[in-house]
Amino acid sequence: MESLTFKLEEFEGPLDLLLYLVGKNKMDLHEIAILDLIDQYTAVINDLTDHRLDVASEFIEMAARLVQMKSYLLLPRSEEAERLKQELTGQLIEYSACKEIAARMGTMAAATFTAVRQPMEVQLDNTYQLRHDASLLQQAWFGLMGRSRRRTAPSAERFEPLVTAPFVSVTSRVVHVLRGLVTGKVRQLRSLFSPSGSRSETVATFLAVLELVRAGRITIADDETLAVRRGKTTHREE
C-alpha cells in the first residue's frame, strides 16, 4: 500500500478514516482485506501520535480495537476474530450507506430555494382591560398576604418530630426478616410492613428485602410468599 499524508481533521471519525482507506485501496466493502486495513490504519495513527499530542481519543481507541482484532485474526480458527471482523464490516457498510444518503440530502437541500422574511413588528396595547368584582380582588389580596406570611422560616419545634424519630438500620431489618422466616412468623411480604411503623422502619425493611433477594438469601413468589432459599446459610441471633 502507498504511504498516505493527510490531516486527521478532514475525517469525521475513525470509521470515516477506515472508509477512506478502503476506497483508497479499492477494496470491496463485503470482502475487506482486514489485516492490510488494520496495518495501514495503525500506521497512520502511530505516525500522527509521533508528531502530535492532540490526536482525538476516538481514533486511538479504534486503533487499540483493531490491534486486538489483529491478535485474534492471527490465531487459527478463531471464532472471536470472525465475530469482530463481521462487526467491523457491518459498521463500515452502515456508515457508507449513511454518508451516501447524507450527500444526497445535502444536494437536494442545496437545490431547494428557501426565502425567509424578517418578522413583522406588532404593536401591542399592554393596558389591562378586564374588570373584576371587588370580592375577587379582595381574595387575591388576602392570598398574596398569606403567601408572604408563609415565607417566614418555620420554627425549630416543627422539625422536632423528624429529628427525634428513631433511626432503623437496614442490617437490623435483615435480621428481623430472616428470623421471621425461620421461626415461621413471617410468610407474606405485606406482613413485614406495619401501618403504624415509622417511615424509617418501612424504608429499612424494603431495602432489607431487596438486599436479601439480590444476595439470593430469600425468594418472593408471585403471590408475595417469602421463603428462605435452600442451600443458603441463615444467620440467626441467639
Contact 33/27 with Cβ under 8 angstroms?
A: yes
pTM of the predicted model over 0.95: no
Report the pLDDT averaged over residues 107-122.
Answer: 79
Contact predicate 212/171, CB 8 Å = no
pLDDT tens digits for 11-21?
Answer: 788 888 898 89
Residue from 178, 182, 203, 177 nearest 192 by CA: 177
The predicted-structure confidence for 53-74, as pLDDT tens digits, reads as follows 556 788 888 888 888 888 888 8
pLDDT of amino acid 232: 46
Q: Which residues pair with 219 in a beta bridge?
A: 227
**Which DSSP string do the residues of 155-185 spell out, in sequence order?**
PGGGGHHHHHSPP--HHHHHHHHHHHHHHTS
Span 224-229, average pLDDT:
83
Domains of the chain: which residue ranges? 8-110, 166-228
Of 75-79, 152-156, 190-194, the poorest mean pLDDT is in 152-156
Percent of the chain whose pLDDT exceeds 70: 81
- By the 8 A CB rule, do 205 and 193 touch? yes
